[in-house]
Amino acid sequence: MERLGLSLPSLVAQVINFAVLLVLLYIVAYKPIMRMLDERSARIKASMEQAESIREQAARAEDEVKKQLEAAKKVGQEIIGRATQAGEGMKREAQQEAKHEAETLISRARLEIQRERNEAVGELRREFADLTVLTAEKVIERSLDKEAHRQLIEKVLEESQSLKKG
Q: Whole-angstrom Cα distance, residue 125 to residue 161?
A: 12
Q: Whole-angstrom Cα distance, residue 107 to residue 110?
A: 5
Hey, where are the domains in the chain? 10-165
Q: Which of 96, 115, 116 is nearest to 104 (CA)?
A: 96
- Check: CB of residue 153 under 8 Å from CB of residue 126: no
pLDDT in tens, 120-132: 888 888 887 777 7
pLDDT in tens, 39-70: 999 999 999 999 999 999 999 999 999 999 99
Instruction: Give residue 166's pLDDT band: very low, low, confident or very high (50, 70, 90).
Output: low
